[in-house]
Amino acid sequence: LSLKFGDIGNLKGLVIRFLLTTSSYQLSVQHWFSLHRLQLLYNHSAQATFNATGIHAPASYSFHCQHVSSLQRYHALLVPSSANDLSKLWEVTFTDFQV
């Protein structure tokens, strides 16, 4: 799932990309989805990547959380995927997040 914002200030072609995965568990008759990773792209290249933790739900339902964030005060469900990219320079928070 990609949200494309176009040009915002110095950020050319800002895109927030949500990488979702699906899975099936033998003990459950339902398929589940998970938010696996969040990427921030601008100036036409990936700039920051966050691994998502604890964001999953049955595929026939939705996931809702008051705060999905990279900040510790919101329990940091988004964790920088690598010390080598620019994700440590970003603070990302979605309020009233539902997917």
Please give the tally of structural domains in the chain: 1
* Mean of pLDDT values over 6-33: 84
Alpha-helix residue ranges (DSSP H) falling in 2-95: none
The pTM (predicted TM-score) of the whole model is: 0.84
- Residue pLDDT, tens place only, 37-62: 999 988 877 789 999 999 999 888 88
Q: Are 78 and 69 in contact (CB under 8 A)?
A: yes
* Tokens representing residue 69 in the block: 């964030």
pLDDT category at 7 given cuts 50, 70, 90 is confident
- Residue pLDDT, tens place only, 65-96: 999 999 999 999 999 998 777 888 889 999 99
Q: What range does the domain containing 75 cover?
A: 2-98
